[in-house]
Amino acid sequence: MIDTHYDLLSIAYVAYLKNDYSYLKEISKYFNKDNVTGVIANLYFMSIEEMQNELHPNYYREEISVLEMFVKAKEILDKFLPNTEILYSIEGADYIRGCSELEQLYSEGLNSLIIAWNTKSKYASGNRSNQGLTKEGKELLSKAIDLGMCVDFSHANKETFTDMIQLVKEKKNEGIDVITFASHSNSRSLCGVSRNLTDEQLEMLSEIGGLVGVFSNRNFVVSENERKNASFYLKENMYLKHIEHIKKIIGEDNIMLATDDMNFCKEADKEYGEVAIYDYRDLKKLVSQTLSKNYTNGVIDKFIYSNAYEKIFKKIKKNISIRNKKR
């Protein structure tokens, strides 16, 4: 199975700050040929206050660049997951110091960019604002595309999302094969939180060949009035409904699966840390059992592995190979 969104780079960096690698040791047990073989590992940035509260008081410091954080986190994660296929992502470009640092990040292995978290920045905005891509944001995203990086639409608000679609279309018209997806997004018509995607947004993604990682965080699967007392049966079947609804709009060849597993931050927020529908210890088996209610083995394989591998991982490998030949 490939998990298309897990904040493993942030986990690695916090482990480094605490000098406590116990969580990484535990989770590394579950990355193997019978469970999870690939992951899009994420380093994320929020407001400074939220990073201090949720992650670590020294998680972000102005004297330490995003590049330095990324290199350190990647070095640690690679040691713990030596046999796992990993794509590396940054969520929230707020503190990247322009296109030159983005190029450096790419040369160090960054493969994918979520330009906005929920907050407003100099580049773009998530769902706490109605601002779209800024001039600097268009330049940064354009550079990411030119480098061959993935464009991840998760977290973008309506304005930013629409601006990103337009930029991708312009790049495609130039003959660039842009890799596009929403790594961890569900259907807003089924669970009305602003982080989920409207049917219109899903249709826009479909127009550019974008994929969606339907994710099993119950806060984005089950509506708020049902959430606290939701049984596993309800959560599991609502997750299936999200997959089926999104599939009808973007097609079965563009569905992927994600967890956005947040158990690592239970110390900061116990409830948020325990919102996964599935246990990561046997993730592939549990997800496959759920999907088998509605889908054949061939379709299940597309959802849990081959769509992500063929349309994202293989393309990124090709881009890396081309980059290395140019060096």
Q: For residue 268, is pLDDT > 60?
A: no
Q: For residue 274, is pLDDT > 70?
A: no
Which residue in this structure is represented by tokens 């009305």?
Answer: 192
pLDDT tens sequence across 166-215: 999 999 999 999 999 999 999 999 999 999 999 999 999 999 999 999 99
Q: For residue 129, is pLDDT > 70?
A: yes
Residue 296 to residue 35: CA distance in whole angstroms: 19
Residue 88 · residue 109 · CB < 8 Å: yes
Q: How many domains does the chain have?
A: 1
More confident residue, 80 or 234: 80
Say what the pTM is: 0.94
More confident residue, 224 or 97: 97
Q: Helix axis angle, 232-250 relative to 199-207, nearest 10°?
A: 50
**Residue 46 pLDDT grade (very low, low, confident, very high; cuts 50, 70, 90):** very high
The domain in which residue 146 lies consists of 2-326
**Residue 273 pLDDT grade (very low, low, confident, very high; cuts 50, 70, 90):** low
Cβ neighbours of 130 (radius 10 Å): 11
Residue 65 · residue 105 · CB < 8 Å: no
- How far separated are the first and last CA of the chain, in Å rounded? 33
**Residue 31 pLDDT grade (very low, low, confident, very high; cuts 50, 70, 90):** very high
**Residue 261 pLDDT grade (very low, low, confident, very high; cuts 50, 70, 90):** confident
pLDDT tens sequence across 222-254: 987 776 666 777 788 999 999 999 999 999 999
pLDDT score recorded for residue 298:
98
pLDDT tens sequence across 280-313: 999 999 999 999 999 999 999 999 999 999 999 9
In 3D space, the residue among 218, 211, 254 whose CA is nearest the CA of residue 239 turns out to be 218
**Average pLDDT of every residue of the chain:** 92
The CATH number of residue 120's host domain is: 3.20.20.140
258-273: average pLDDT: 69
Q: What share of the chain in percent tops pLDDT 90? A: 80
Q: What share of the chain in percent tops pLDDT 70? A: 93
Q: For residue 327, is pLDDT > 70?
A: no
